[in-house]
Amino acid sequence: MAVKNKFKLFALVGISFSVVSLLGHLFVANYSAGEIIQHIPTADGIYQIGQKFRHRKLWGSVQSLEALQPCANPRNVYPVPRDHNGFLYAKIYGGFDHVRSSICDLVAVSRMLNATLIIPEIQESLQSKGISSKFKSFSYVYNEEQFIAALSNDVVILKSLPDNLKRERKMKKYPTFSIRYSASPSFYIKEVLPKLKLSKVVGLLIADGGCLESILPKDMDEYQRLRCRVAFHALQFRPEIRALGNLMVARLRASGRPYLAFHPGLTRDVLAFHGCSELFQDVHTEILQYRRKQMIKHGIIHGNLSMDSMAQKRKGLCPLMPEEVGLLLRAMGYPSDTVIYLAGAETFGGQRTLIPLCAMYPNLVDLTLLCSKKELSILLGSESPIPSHLPNPPPQRPKEQLIREWNRAGPRPRPLPPPPARPFYQHEKEGWYGWIAENDTEPEPSLMDMRVQAHRMIWNAIDYYVSVEADVFFPGFHNDGSGWPDFSSLVMGHRLYQMSASRTFRPDRKTIVNILDKIKDKQYHPKQNWTILVRQHLNDSLGIKGLISAAEKSKPNSFISHPLPECSCRAASKPSEVPNPVIGSGGRILYGDEETCPDWLSRGLQLVVPDSTDMKDESEDLPELEPYFGQQEQDSGDGNSGEMARPSEQDEEMDPED
């Protein structure tokens, strides 16, 4: 009996130690991992929108920037010259971001030369064969009538050259200049203007995303404001794109909740240019290395073919991976059911790179999930079919011929001939990776490749529209002094101009990588609460510190990525609210030199700005739209459907009663 009691006692003690040890491990893991996965904001700063409550630190405006208002009107007398020096036409090469930046520079150059501007030709759409004849090169993305009307007080714009000049242009009688990136105003005055006055017609070839230097002298501020009027007022998308963009924004907010737009910035050219190929594996690395080799050959890069990608990443030159962005958002406190819109028509690496982010935020959607195939095809118009590359089947031989061949085949038994090799069809070789196993050089783009590039212009236009309207924007990569204009930089500049106080993160990737390295091998035992570092850096990037950093890094490459202070005014009701100017190392004012807003704008702001507690629920005025999250939309005719995960009905952002 005593032996049994001892066994029971030993078993009870063992079980007790096991339970205590398990609870201890769970407590340690929960304490450390909880700091890594998600920061839950406190109940301070809750504000109400209709029946919904939002946390101001996650979705509210940046109070330090609320005084900045858009104001790109001319400050001085600025009439359109009556006598022009001639006609200026241009061919613009590149993707969506290059084209948009180049058009802004082109209008400023046209004003500088006192030339009549012919609506530029976007080569990305012209080179594609068989796209809808309904659209010309410019009207494929933008509204021509709006472009001409909005700039009628600045530049004379025509849709095409007069017929007699058009014929002479085809005969190449007029001088053409291939403009290098960020050319100075003196180049146009000394080189282009004399040829324009002499021949009356001059052509420009623009290929690198900009034909005029970003920072102009102080006495040329009116040209900077002209750029803003082009970028933010004249360059409007054609009505079909705007209508679908509004529909997508309404669907994202149909549940009465805000949404965050995220652009990964994982494009092939960016990764190859900065030597980030080793962040990927297998065929991805080979393709990036090939592209980098071509850039070196054409003089775009002056460096080595092989680069230490991790060293480049620690310098802040490589895009943040989607998994890292997910960790940053969780550290900021964004709940797992946050609606995230994935912008960007190209994500190098495909869906595989997005899997970690999708695991953290299941409501990650893009335009293909928000729109039906029919809605997207309407934007493309009627396109001619592309001929099939499938091989023709071998001709069938008559039965009598087969019997004669069999009889002449010789004695039996005999070994059978080896089966013919499986043919590789052309459609198996097309695409971004199909050539890598067969050729040392990338083949010329096929008709389908060129059409996909043209379609990408439209998809980027939609993503741009939705990103500008987003409640929060987070860039995975933006050109903070490291290259040419890119998608995220243009979105950030547009949001800065249109609504300066909107939550637009401007992360310094070098700082972010250093913060992430602190938990790389110590996820469960961090030495410090690293989420404090994340929140401090990202919150600083939203406000004045972020603007000062952008003025030092982004503005020298693209003015419309940081149109301050030339295109803004300050609605300050008290003299004490006007900050002292912040001067950079070169003597240039980085922040605080904005002019006071005119009286009519200040009075209008007082009338339209409501109290935050009385703001109307934006979902009340939205039409009933289908589909939204959790609904299915049937495509008419093809039977396909788009399905999205329904977010939780319970709003997990913050309950003010907690």
For 70-95, the pLDDT digits (tens) are 999 998 877 777 778 999 999 999 89
Question: Given pLDDT bands bounded at 50, 70 and 90, which one contains residue 192?
Answer: very high
pLDDT at 584: 80
CA distances from residue 2 to 7, 272, 334 in whole angstroms, order as listed: 9, 77, 60
What is the C-alpha separation between 211 and 106, in angstroms, rounded? Answer: 7
pLDDT at 484: 76
By mean pLDDT, which of 117-126, 469-478, 594-603, 604-613 is the weakest? 604-613
Residue type, position 320, single letter: L
Choose among 228, 193, 177: nearest CA to 112: 193
Q: Which single residue is written with the structure tokens 């110590």?
A: 522
pLDDT at 96: 93
Q: What is the mean pLDDT of residues 231-238?
A: 96
pLDDT at 170: 82
Q: Provide the β-strand partners of residue 364.
A: 340
Q: Is the pLDDT of residue 106 over 60?
A: yes
pLDDT, mean over the chain: 81
Return the top range by mean pLDDT from 294-308, 461-475, 600-614.
461-475
Query: 626 or 346: whose pLDDT is higher?
Result: 346
Using an 8 Å Cβ cutoff, are 276 and 317 in contact? yes
By mean pLDDT, which of 18-22, 232-236, 423-427 is the weakest? 423-427
By mean pLDDT, which of 3-7, 167-171, 376-380 is the weakest? 3-7
Query: 446 or 117: whose pLDDT is higher?
Result: 117
Peptide bond into 565 cis (omega under 30): yes
Q: Is the pLDDT of residue 637 over 50?
A: no
Residue range 276-328, pLDDT digits in tens? 988 887 788 888 989 999 889 888 888 888 888 899 999 999 999 999 999 99
Q: What is the mean pLDDT of residues 536-557?
A: 92
DSSP 456-517: HHHHHHHHHHHHHT-SEEEES---SSSSS--HHHHHHHHHHHH-TTSEE----HHHHHHHHH
What is the C-alpha separation between 38 and 512, in angstroms, rounded? Answer: 16
What is the C-alpha separation between 504 and 261, in angstroms, rounded? Answer: 10
Phi-psi region of 193 (alpha: psi -120 to 50; beta: other; left: phi over 0): alpha
Helix (H, G, I), strand (E, B) or coil at 590: strand
Q: Is the pLDDT of residue 647 over 80?
A: no
pLDDT at 130: 74
Q: Provide the β-strand partners of residue 340.
A: 260, 364
Q: What is the mean pLDDT of residues 111-125?
A: 92
pLDDT at 536: 93
Q: Provide the β-strand partners of residue 634.
A: 641
pLDDT at 62: 92
pLDDT at 161: 92
531, burial (CB in 10 Å: exposed 0-12, middle 13-18, buried 19+): buried
Q: Provide the β-strand partners of residue 472.
A: 260, 503
Residue type, position 437, single letter: A
Total Cβ atoms within 10 A of residue 32: 17
What is the C-alpha separation between 217 and 559, in angstroms, rounded? Answer: 13
Q: What is the mean pLDDT of residues 112-127?
A: 90
Q: What is the mean pLDDT of residues 462-484?
A: 89
Residue range 370-408, pLDDT digits in tens? 999 999 999 988 888 877 665 666 678 888 888 888 888
pLDDT at 255: 82
Using an 8 Å Cβ cutoff, are 90 and 205 in contact? yes
pLDDT at 34: 44
Query: 601 or 119: whose pLDDT is higher?
Result: 119
Q: What is the mean pLDDT of residues 186-209?
A: 93
Q: Is the pLDDT of residue 367 over 70?
A: yes
What is the C-alpha separation between 112 and 110, in angstroms, rounded? Answer: 5
Query: 607 or 522: whose pLDDT is higher?
Result: 522
Q: Is the pLDDT of residue 632 over 80?
A: no
Q: What is the torsion angle, in degrees rounded to the nearest 10, for the CA atoms of residue 446, residue 447, residue 449 and residue 452?
A: 180
Question: Given pLDDT bands bounded at 50, 70 and 90, which one contains residue 574?
Answer: low
Choose among 143, 154, 85, 95: nearest CA to 119: 143
Peptide bond into 413 cis (omega under 30): yes
pLDDT at 518: 79
What is the C-alpha separation between 637 and 457, in angstroms, rounded? Answer: 26
Return the top range by mean pLDDT from 40-49, 216-225, 616-625.
216-225
pLDDT at 576: 60
Choose among 100, 102, 96, 227: nearest CA to 155: 227
